[in-house]
């Protein structure tokens, strides 16, 4: 049995893994947005849906406490972005693109929940 990580090691790992998650978010968001080239925030949608699937998968694995903290909070927490989702939705509504704004909310919630359930189901198969 391995010893639990020290507090300093956990903080350092959260910083490093969180940095990797945020850079990954930036890369994925930009790649999808560039490919789609539309006013709708497809990049953020892709990031949040894949993040929900990954977090569901991690939850389904029943990881040890430190591993769950590092994978779920540090990586997925820095990878996904609630604040950007809300800001982009608000900007769509400011631009009077109400259908797109409400679609962003509905699609994000519906697909996010489905992705989390799917991720958890996949982990359960392992």
pTM attached to this predicted model: 0.88
Ramachandran class of 64: left when φ > 0, alpha when ψ lies in -120 to 50, beta otherwise: beta
Q: Is 80 annotated as a binding residue?
A: yes
77 is in an annotated binding site: yes
pLDDT > 70 fraction of the chain, expressed in percent and rounded: 96
Residue-wise pLDDT for 34-86, tens only, equals 998 888 999 999 999 999 999 999 999 988 888 888 899 999 999 999 999 99
Alpha helix ranges (H) inside the chain: 7-36, 42-61, 65-68, 77-79, 82-94, 98-125
């Amino acid at each position: 049995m391995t010893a639990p990580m020290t507090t300093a090691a956990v903080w350092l790992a959260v910083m490093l893994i969180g940095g990797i998650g945020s850079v990954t978010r930036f890369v994925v968001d930009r790649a999808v947005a560039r490919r789609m080239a539309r006013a709708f925030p497809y990049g953020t949608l892709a990031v949040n849906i894949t993040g929900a699937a990954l977090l569901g998968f991690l939850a389904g694995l029943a990881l040890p406490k430190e591993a769950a903290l590092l994978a779920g909070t540090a990586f997925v927490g820095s990878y996904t972005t609630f604040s950007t989702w809300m800001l982009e939705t608000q900007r769509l509504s400011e631009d009077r693109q109400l259908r797109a704004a409400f679609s962003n909310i509905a699609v994000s919630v519906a697909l996010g929940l489905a992705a989390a359930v799917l991720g958890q189901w996949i982990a359960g198969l392992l």
